[in-house]
Chains A and B, each alone.
Chain A
């Protein structure tokens, strides 16, 4: 299975900050990388698919980049509703695998 490593595991930030989360795959996965946001007690929500494509309805302050084995999720200006846990997921090969998550907390 392809291992997905996210960093940091958690971060503290203020409203208005720019936040960057990284995800590294244990092998090249081309651009088959997706990002999800999950709030406590809720299901994950798709933010970004295929490394950089913004899912319908997702605010443009979210962006994704990368290819091969290194990827980033950026939030240009953090809003109160963005405090959540973020997961990356590879869809290059079965089984699809997820990172362990990055929790974005309020500073």
Chain B
């Protein structure tokens, strides 16, 4: 059973870059018709799509975040990484990575990691 685990700093200063890693176990990030997606959720609010990376290496980002987001894959480590630059308090949220099956529905999720933007 594929498992995902997010990791990274829980506190980031305003204007700096948020960096998170999603480690995938019991499955290769290169296999199948999957993409790997980052989603975030501010406290008490709805889920927001950040972006995804396909097995081809192609990426797709939410237009609202596109200028600040980068998602990459390290196949040697079986990890997906998220970088979000120039963060503000509005970027404070729980960040989830998820496996996106057939680029359609997210069938496996990590537990999420909380990131707070504060000086």
Contacts and interface: CB of A to CB of B under 8 A. Distances in A.
Interface of A: 1, 32, 34, 36, 42-46, 49-50, 55, 87, 89, 91, 94-101
Nearest to A56: B107
Interface of A is mostly: loop
Contacts of A32: 104
A46 B107 contact: yes
Interface residues of B, number: 20
Interface of B: 45-49, 60-63, 96, 98, 103-107, 109-112
A36 B96 CA distance: 14
A16 B76 CA distance: 50
B107 A98 contact: no
A34 B60 contact: no
A49 B48 contact: no
